[in-house]
Amino acid sequence: MTTRIPLMAGNWKMNLNHLEAIAQVQKLSQYLTDAKHDFATAEAAVLVPYTDLRSVQTLVDSDNLPIEYGAQDVSEHASGAYTGDISADMLKSLGVKFCAVGHSERREYYGETDALVNAKVRALAAADIVSIVCVGEALEIRKAGNHVPYTVDSLKGSIADLSPEELAKTVIAYEPVWAIGTGEVATPADAQEVIGALREAIAEMYDADVADAMRILYGGSVKSGNVAEIMAEKDIDGALVGGASLDPEEFSKIVRFADHA
Ligand code: PEP
């Protein structure tokens, strides 16, 4: 019997400055509190720009908010002459719990490879930060019918040689590139097909218990109107949400997916 607690993570991308971030998190928290959301049934996290982290940390700590927060990327290096980079330890000192790694926008615009993603996941695990490892295929790969092997290979490269302890500090997000920010949602069955295959791959690499404990999210044009049917699939443990996470009321409804199941 699985004990995976659903996770709804909002990826703000390069939106909202630190003042806007404070207002956004306050509103999100208010919507969830007003609705008496039980965070034991679904966690809510926001992945914010680096410049918002200190403000979000101060708000969450001072008001004791049940919202979790994180970053959208990290350096694979621990410290040194890497101009512009931010280390896992720097994130840790800001109370960061989650960090996205290998988002398709980073893979596409900055050439991030599975090997680099793997190095970043290790750096985060060493700092006790949970990686949200993103994998997913482009439209041509899906059209050619290669989406399952492609995504499984990408996952294997991204989590290669992680110890079970390191792997326990990761969440996987299946995000088909053609469904991100496009309004095109994979059908629940499409998402389940790939996510089920990812869980099987983890079982082969580790064992059934490790695979059963792993949270695997779906991402790609998730909204309050489609989240319940996606969450009804047996292997889907939450969502990575871009556009809809910028509207706090809409995101609160996604977090409360069980209400409109
Ligand atoms: C994302 O950025 O990870 C994402 C899934 O975006 P959207 O929800 O806007 O498709």
In contact, 125 and 131? CB cutoff 8 Å: yes
Reference 215, options 156, 159, 132; nearest CA is 132
Q: Does the pLDDT of residue 184 top 70, yes or no? A: yes
Among the atoms of ligand 1, which is closest to the Cα of residue 245?
Answer: 8
Does the pLDDT value for residue 2 go beyond 80? no
- How far is 12 from 90, CA to CA, in rounded Å? 20
What residue's CA is closest to ligand 1, atom 1? 242
pLDDT at 151 (0 to 100): 98
Q: What is the DSSP string of 161-181?
A: T--HHHHTTEEEEE--GGGSS
What's residue 30's pLDDT? 97
How confident is residue 222, by pLDDT bands cut at 50, 70 and 90? very high
pLDDT of residue 129: 98
pLDDT, position 183: 85
Confidence of residue 1 (pLDDT cuts 50, 70, 90): low
Tell me which of 221, 226, 227 to substitute to probe ligand 1's pocket, judged by most ligand atoms within 8 Å of the beta carbon.
Answer: 221
**Would residue 115 be called left, alpha or beta, if left means φ above 0 and alpha means ψ between -120 and 50 degrees?**
alpha
- Give residue 261's pLDDT: 67
- Chain mean pLDDT for the chain: 96
- 114 vs 101: CA distance, rounded Å: 10
How much distance in Å is there from the Cα of 122 to the middle of ligand 1? 24
Which atom belonging to ligand 1 lies closest to the Cα atom of 175?
A: 5
Ligand 1 centroid – CA 15 distance (Å): 13
pLDDT band at 181 (very low <50, low <70, confident <90, very high): confident
Tens digit of pLDDT for each residue in 248-260? 999 999 999 999 7
- Taking the centre of ligand 1 as the mean of its atom positions, its distance from the CA of residue 1, in whole angstroms, is 30
* Confidence class for position 216, pLDDT limits 50, 70, 90: very high
List the structure tokens of 48: 């914010």
205-214: Cβ within 8 A, 24+ apart: 205/156, 205/159, 206/164, 206/167, 210/164, 210/167, 210/168, 212/2, 212/4, 213/2, 213/3, 213/4, 213/168, 214/4, 214/167, 214/170, 214/171, 214/172
Nearest to 123 by CA among 101, 155, 152, 105: 101
pTM exceeds 0.85: yes
Angle at 172 between CA 226 and CA 252, to 5 degrees: 40
Expressed in angstroms and rounded, the spacing between residue 175 Cα and the centre of ligand 1 is 8
What pLDDT score was predicted for residue 42?
Answer: 97
* CA-based nearest residue to 241, from 191, 184, 175, 197: 175
**Would you tell me the crossing angle of helices 53-63 and 18-34 to the nearest 10 degrees?**
40
Neighbours of 123 (CB within 10 A): 22
Does the annotation mark 103 as catalytic? yes
Catalytic residue among 103, 105, 112, 147: 103
Alpha-carbon Rg for the chain, nearest whole angstrom, is 17
> At which residue do the structure tokens 């939450």 appear?
238
pLDDT tens, position by position, 109-147: 999 999 999 999 999 999 999 999 999 999 999 999 999
The SS3 of residue 79 is: coil
Ligand 1: residues with CB < 6 A are 11, 175, 180-181, 219-222, 240-244
